[in-house]
Structure 1
Amino acid sequence: MKILERDPCHVATLQLMGMVAVQTGRNDIAESFLRKAIGLKDSDPTIHFILTGMLLEQDKLEQAMAHCMRALALKPNFAEAYLKLGDIFQRLGKLPESESSCRQALKLKPDYAEAHNNLGNVLNGLGRFDDAVASYSRALEIRPDYAEAYNNLGVTLEDLERSDEAEASHRRALELKPDFAEAHNNLGNVLGDQGRFAEAEANYRRALEIKPDYAEAHSNLGNVLNGRGRFDDAVASYSRSLEIRPDYAEAHNNLGITLKDLGRSDEAEASHRRALELKPDFAEAHNNLGIVLSDQGRFAEAEASHRRALEIRPDYAEAQSNLLFCLNYHPDLSVEEIYRAYQEYDASFGIPLRSTWRTHTNDKTPDRRLRVGYVSPDFRYHSCRFFLEPLLAHHDKTQVEVYAYAELSKKDDMTARYQSYVERWIPTKGMGDEALAERIRSDGIDILVDLAGHTAHNRLLTFARKPAPVSVSWLGYGNTTGLRSIDYYLTDATSVPVGSEGSFAEQPWYIANPPYSYRPTAGMGEVSGLPALRCGHITFGTLTRSVRINPHTIRVWSEILRRVEGSRLVIDSLNFNYPGMQARLVEGFAEHGVTRERLELGYHSPPWDILRGIDISLDCFPHNSGTTLLESLYMGVPYVTLASRPGVGRLGSSILKGVGHPEWIAQSEAEYVDKAVALATDLPGLAALRVGLRSEMEASPLMDEAEFARKVEAAYRMMFANWAES
């Protein structure tokens, strides 16, 4: 400073003072010194370069660009300035220009480790992951102790689904730089993707100890807390992230996901819409908004959201799956219109993978023990357990050797039971589709069974690679997958009537009704007396999710309520625990003359306690309910169903045929109303049904677990024989 007191125009001192101010975070003072120096000596490229860096830190990108270009005009071989220019272009979203600048820096300075690292970042952003790995690897050859390059390499390896290598890279970064908050955060991402939530949480919390205002780590911590079922804690983490960075679109999107899981649909919608205001081409937010809109019964808007996600990211398989899931429930589309969307899925994600198919060399010996692999994200406490456990528990181990490929984020007591039924248990979380396909090939699986369809965390892109000679879809979805790489859809002729095969990509494989066996939850208790005899009026009910209730079901249910004097309707589901969803439903019934007083809306658990207060259950359409129908019958409550679309629209019909009450299956909306009214106006008959229905069910094929296992094994045997003979 004494030099400046003597000579206020001493350029070298002004430059030095500017650099010191930059290093101590006093950017306003730094800018003042540097601009004064430039005013005195505009021809010094170094001063322009230093000012570029300072402006870049303040996100003053246009000003930074101008000074960087000036530095390069004054010094064309200035490698560091080219690298800085690449950084500016990257932040502006101009990745090709950024790549060009990084390569120019490397042309001038081939062993410039930072330039190789930054080029890797740009290539990652361009989706050229293998090239990015090569750039990071070159940076590490030059500088083996370069923690940032190890961290960035880990991120790209995770993008390539090379999870173990990604973890090793982040851990190496932390060996070199233990207080590297970003590496702790990214290691948390890898561990979370592997389902190692406790370890992931610990890494996010360590990142936040180092860097408390790290918005990304708060948001990522929210993700892992959501995965652990700690929804309120997750909301708190996202909220903290947004306090730090209100314009953080990803945190708004993640918050929306958790609010949806909590049943707070209106708030979830608002969060996703805020994410899209901040980032209009945010494909994930469009997709998640579509899920929320489906739950609200706004199917046309939901479809548009999913399709917008796919316009932005045509390779977004999850968005296509969610679109198909939405269309299953759409009340105003034909079967043909829906199936065309499934064909689009195969065209986009199935057919392009046919080049990866290999010739299967499985032993074709007849009657040998078959190796069967079940692929599912639901080997846990999930509704599939009522149907999957009976099959696995009764498989004849002399006939089949059972492998379970478990796409699990978390285990529970049910997981341990599943593990006890199978010979091989293979965790697949964090394993890419090609890696999983290769594992299935190496395991020599003869029959590969998909248990998820297009539900969350499915592995359909593994099935698209045809890793086993025979593949089958069953149970978890209720409709075609759309993939012609899957050979069969295991069903019965009630669920998929003969003549409707054209709406399935797979060949329906018919077994005797029903195509599942049901094992009720222990502790459901005894059947209660008929509620109508206690309270003096009929109580109808449904325990279905909101996505299955649409204007058509509301209109038909309203007609039933109008015809059965004094009757009430219980609608009990998590979605209806919040005022916004209740208000929409109340408004829908009001349009048909049903007042709020006749509706009992909310959510209670367990469901069988609610069923004790219901006389007659009402199934949904065009997408039927599922597990709750069986629970209803087991608690002595009959239900009426409308036979609708093949698969999802005939679940209720298949169950009723299995229990021996096809007379409750309607073929039209008018007949549905008449059947419900007839049940409601025969109280003695209804009381008798209530007493005997559980016994009927226990004696029916619906609960003959061993016989169902034999049917399935016989089907597997014939499917494999067809392949062996082809």
Structure 2
Amino acid sequence: MNDSEHWLKAALAHHREGRLAEAQALYKQILRTHPEQPDALHFFGLLACQTRDYTAGIALMTQSAALRPDAAHLNDLGNMLREHGRLAQAIERYRHAIGLRPDYAEAHNNLGNALRDARESEAAVRSCARAIELRPDYPEAYNNLGNALQDMGRLNDAAASYRKAIAIRPLYALAYSNLAAVFNSLGEYTQALDAAQRAVRIAPGLAGAHTNMGNACFGLGNLEAAAASYQRALALEPADAGANLNLSLVLLELGHHEEALAHCQRAMAASAPSWSMYLCLGDILRARGDLDPAIEAYRKALMLDPRSAQTLERLLFCMAGSATVTPQAFLADARRYNALMASTAEPFPHDRSQRASQARGRALRVGFVSPDLRQHPVGIFLESVLAHIDRARIEPVAYATHPLEDEVTERLKPRFSAWHSLAGLSPKEAAHRMHADAIDVLVDLAGHTAWSGLAALCWKPAPVQATWLGFFATTGCDAIDYIVCDRHVLPVSEEAHFVEKPWRLPVSYLCFTPPAHAGEVGPLPLFAHGAVTFGYFGKLVKLTDEVVALWSRLLRTMPRARLFLKAPELDAPATQWATAARFAAHGIEAQRLVLEGASPHAQYLAAYGRVDIALSPFPYSSGTTTAEALWMGVPVLCRKGDRFVAHICESLLHAAGLDEWIARDDDEYLERAIAWSSEPGRLALLRASLRSRVLASPLCDAPLFARHLEAAFLGMWDGYVNAGLSVPKAG
């Protein structure tokens, strides 16, 4: 053995044992004597790549391959090129290695990995399958085949491939982790959790296994466990974009908005921001009440995936409550949603004469589609009305698009002739389900809110379709014929904001169901405190900068007054601090604010006993909270708006006979607040009589409202049967 062979053998021994400095010295010594020694060039280059000097290392390995093409060396070079992100060159080297040695299973497997990175999934599957054909007991190839199959959406085949890898190598942690990922994608979260736990037991340092465990816990609804798993993954790989993003989603669900935002931002910094990252960012910003930044995030998500209905729905929900978005701008994006839905929907044909014949002599079949047939404003406003629907005229059918049910659901179910769950169905499947029931008039109760069934209605499963109650702007959808409204919430001057034709109910488009567990109306708090307490018990997202500025102006004008804010978001200390800071920017000390989080509904209603006057924000005005405040004896002050969402409180106040609580502008808003506060005797009399006044008003007259609603649906049907939708409409 000559000196260079001896040094090379020693260098390789050092290299294998991780003594890289010693190996490097010997490689250099060999190359000083024999500058073109292929093995020394190759392994010196490999060592350089292992110490992250890819430029020098790949150059040395390329020089070696030019001097003596060797399949194993070309395979190594392909690996380093792939690590360095030079996929095309890596694929070329693997193919060169296979050309020299067609039965080289490892090179086939590595080629499959590189092709997968290049998003050539079918070619990747072929390469991995060839590796397995050459070496049937090759667990890495089965694992990589599973990865490629998973990319193609062949999840069951991928799971089978991972199981084969595990059968060959029972302690194959990575295969268990990948199997968990497949189960998560299939929604089989219990099996996913089991596979991820096995991976973690085998390899506690495998960050991806902790992430997959978190995903399984998230799917099972165990948010705290999910957060803990993601945090363990990030302790191992702090810059992991997926774990950061998923943790931000969990924290958002838990109401920890500031932490959620921080992890979302870390995810975006760790990789090129994706559609899902911008979507998550928008959701967090919206939850924090930052509507305009949220809108910007959703628009960026749409740029990455212009055909995402999910993003458009979130964008529209956010836009509807923004003071900076005009109704015209909203309508343009709502029409964009319609165009997207129309490109995939296949509307059902309806034979007018046949449908008329089928409906003749029976009650009109009216379907109600909603995710909110539960403790929710929709459920609250719907409950008493359904109790008074004349079943001889209207047969109500429920289509629940959300799986959650509660005590309100149980009270609602008997009010329908049939109850069907559409949860988990695609829009096409949901549409076919409703069409099969021969519904005459189908009513959307959600619009562009979460879990809406609006996409299914774009298939036109019923000949007449309307939207009512659950949203506060146009759907933008040609398939929706009418919007049920009243003259206050949708004046004639604003009809151009909608693609739907308005069907105005005679008095109000809402009917309040008084809560059974509400206590008695208490005395006016002003007498006990010596100063007025204003209150707002709605979502913080409605508190725009303009609202905070006006309410701060009111508090500055009345130095002894307080503002009581109650919202679930205020359970978080960080949200309390941020809210106080918004008012502090306008000179309002934190001591003048009462910030309180969520309570059980009975306690929530009782909290109105500490409020003298409730304030409605703008443009997203109070709806359910207005009705509840009135029921608890608390009058609500609102500012007249310029769009549907801004008129909701106005409509309720008109129905309750409280027109004088509607201000024309900011100045009148302040004037009326100050005037009522300065007359505690008058305010106390109003408080004492308000519940009986509301109960006697159209706002709580469920039998009358039911007659009006029945007439609306029958009128829509008559218009369809007799002359189509081009005839003049009611209102």
CA 1:226 to 1:650, structure 2 compared with 1: closer, same or farther past 3 Å?
Answer: farther
Matched residue, 2:695: 698
Unpaired segments of 5 or more residues in structure 2?
17-38, 47-60, 166-174, 725-731
Residues in 1 aligned to 2:285 and 2:638: alpha-carbon distance in whole angstroms: 25
Give yes or no for contact 2:145–2:161 (8 Å, CA) kept in 1.
no
Give yes or no for contact 1:629–1:639 (8 Å, CA) kept in 2.
yes
Deviation at 1:388, TM superposition (A): 2.2
CA 1:278 to 1:644, structure 2 compared with 1: closer, same or farther past 3 Å?
Answer: same
Deviation at 1:387, TM superposition (A): 1.1
Matched residue, 1:610: 607
Deviation track 1:406-429 (CA, whole Å, cap 9, x = no partner) reads 222433333333333323322222
Deviation at 1:550, TM superposition (A): 1.5
Residues in 1 aligned to 2:289 and 2:718: alpha-carbon distance in whole angstroms: 45
Matched residue, 2:290: 298
Deviation at 1:594, TM superposition (A): 2.3
More moved, 73-82 vs 257-266: 73-82
Deviation track 1:392-414 (CA, whole Å, cap 9, x = no partner) reads 33333333333322222433333
SS in 1 for 2:712: helix
- Does residue 1:211 correspond to 2:207, yes or no? no
Letter in 1 for 2:478: R
Letter in 1 for 2:119: L
Matched residue, 2:333: 341
Deviation track 1:59-94 (CA, whole Å, cap 9, x = no partner) reads 998696575243134247979845642421322xx2
Name which of 141, 144, 148 aligns with 2:161.
Answer: 148
Deviation at 1:284, TM superposition (A): 1.6
Matched residue, 1:45: 71
CA 1:123 to 1:223, structure 2 compared with 1: closer, same or farther past 3 Å?
Answer: closer
SS in 2 for 1:368: coil
Name which of 555, 566, 571 aligns with 1:561.
Answer: 555
Matched residue, 1:158: none
- Does residue 1:350 correspond to 2:341, yes or no? yes
Deviation track 1:626-651 (CA, whole Å, cap 9, x = no partner) reads 21111111110001011213221111
Give yes or no for contact 2:142–2:164 (8 Å, CA) kept in 1.
no
- Does residue 1:656 correspond to 2:638, yes or no? no
CA 1:643 to 1:360, structure 2 compared with 1: closer, same or farther past 3 Å?
Answer: farther
Give yes or no for contact 2:74–2:97 (8 Å, CA) kept in 1.
yes
Letter in 1 for 2:632: M
Residues in 2 aligned to 1:190 and 1:552: alpha-carbon distance in whole angstroms: 46
Matched residue, 2:301: 309
Letter in 2 for 1:147: A
CA 1:221 to 1:86, structure 2 compared with 1: closer, same or farther past 3 Å?
Answer: closer
Letter in 2 for 1:498: V
Report the TM-score, using the length of structure 1 for normalisation. Answer: 0.80
Matched residue, 1:647: 644
Larger radius of gyration: 2
Deviation at 1:121, TM superposition (A): 6.6
Deviation at 1:42, TM superposition (A): 5.9
Residues in 1 aligned to 2:95 and 2:560: alpha-carbon distance in whole angstroms: 80
Give yes or no for contact 1:86–1:99 (8 Å, CA) kept in 2.
no
Name which of 267, 270, 273 aligns with 1:275.
Answer: 267
Deviation at 1:622, TM superposition (A): 0.8
Matched residue, 2:373: 379
Residues in 1 aligned to 2:679 and 2:672: alpha-carbon distance in whole angstroms: 11
- Does residue 1:95 correspond to 2:119, yes or no? yes
Matched residue, 2:24: none
Deviation at 1:235, TM superposition (A): 2.5
Matched residue, 2:483: 489
More moved, 439-448 vs 56-65: 56-65
Give yes or no for contact 1:56–1:88 (8 Å, CA) kept in 2.
no
CA 1:207 to 1:429, structure 2 compared with 1: closer, same or farther past 3 Å?
Answer: farther
Residues in 2 aligned to 1:395 and 1:632: alpha-carbon distance in whole angstroms: 27
Residues in 1 aligned to 2:146 and 2:412: alpha-carbon distance in whole angstroms: 43
CA 1:203 to 1:61, structure 2 compared with 1: closer, same or farther past 3 Å?
Answer: farther
- Mapping for residues 607-646 of structure 1, pairs under 5 Å: 607-646=604-643
Residues in 1 aligned to 2:82 and 2:417: alpha-carbon distance in whole angstroms: 57
Residues in 2 aligned to 1:600 and 1:515: alpha-carbon distance in whole angstroms: 33
Residues in 1 aligned to 2:276 and 2:511: alpha-carbon distance in whole angstroms: 37
Deviation track 1:646-694 (CA, whole Å, cap 9, x = no partner) reads 2211110011011111111112111111111111111011101111111
SS in 2 for 1:417: helix
Deviation at 1:512, TM superposition (A): 2.0
More moved, 434-443 vs 573-582: 573-582
- Does residue 1:538 correspond to 2:537, yes or no? no
- Mapping for residues 108-257 of structure 1, pairs under 5 Å: 125=151, 147-148=160-161, 182-183=178-179, 185-191=181-187, 200-212=188-200, 213=204, 218-219=210-211, 222=214, 230-257=222-249
Deviation at 1:116, TM superposition (A): 12
Unpaired segments of 5 or more residues in structure 1?
1-6, 19-30, 141-145, 153-178, 192-199
CA 1:461 to 1:608, structure 2 compared with 1: closer, same or farther past 3 Å?
Answer: same
SS in 2 for 1:649: helix
- Does residue 1:685 correspond to 2:682, yes or no? yes
CA 1:447 to 1:225, structure 2 compared with 1: closer, same or farther past 3 Å?
Answer: farther
Letter in 1 for 2:96: R
SS in 2 for 1:494: coil
SS in 2 for 1:622: coil
Deviation track 1:123-151 (CA, whole Å, cap 9, x = no partner) reads 875xxx7xx66xx99x89xxxxx813899
SS in 1 for 2:186: helix
SS in 2 for 1:524: coil
Deviation at 1:540, TM superposition (A): 0.4
Matched residue, 2:52: none
- Does residue 1:476 correspond to 2:470, yes or no? yes
CA RMSD across the alignment = 4.1
Deviation track 1:455-475 (CA, whole Å, cap 9, x = no partner) reads 112222212221211111111
Number of corresponding residues: 656
Deviation at 1:567, TM superposition (A): 0.7
Matched residue, 2:393: 399
- Mapping for residues 399-478 of structure 1, pairs under 5 Å: 399-478=393-472
CA 1:101 to 1:457, structure 2 compared with 1: closer, same or farther past 3 Å?
Answer: same
SS in 2 for 1:645: coil
How high is the sequence identity, in percent, across the aligned residues?
Answer: 32
Deviation at 1:223, TM superposition (A): 5.6
Residues in 2 aligned to 1:669 and 1:504: alpha-carbon distance in whole angstroms: 27
Give yes or no for contact 2:631–2:691 (8 Å, CA) kept in 1.
yes
- Does residue 1:319 correspond to 2:311, yes or no? yes
